Amino acid sequence: MYIIDNKSYPCCTSVTMRFIGGKWKAVILHHLINGAKRYNELRKVIPTITERTLSLQLKQLEEDNIIDRKVYTEKPPLMVEYTLTDFGKTLLPVLEAITQWGIAAPANSKKIIKN
């Protein structure tokens, strides 16, 4: 049994899913693998996510210490960048496995059409 923020998780898989589960977190993290991205850059590479959802997911990932949010205020306009933390980088093997599965999946499933 694992406890995070006073909530119990029955196994290690549920702990992992607590951090990257849901429709968008793994997608956001995938786009941060190669370095920092600004909010609008993330919006462009994930066009089907709503602004509200992106903001909420980024906030949750930041609260969980998976990503770091850096605000640049030296000169206008204000700029915010998101990067993986060292803790977030420990998820790289998991994210790579998810990516590789997604690449191979169309060849193994008649339900998936890649255009």
For the chain, what are the domain ranges?
Answer: 2-98
pTM, two decimals, is 0.89
Asked if residue 10 has pLDDT above 90, the reply is yes
Region 22-48 average pLDDT = 96
Which of the four pLDDT bands, split at 50, 70 and 90, describes residue 90?
A: very high
Please, what CATH class does the domain formed by 2-98 belong to? mainly alpha
How far, in Å, CA of 73 to CA of 79, rounded? Answer: 7
Average pLDDT of the segment spanning 68-87: 91
pLDDT (average), residues 61-81? 91
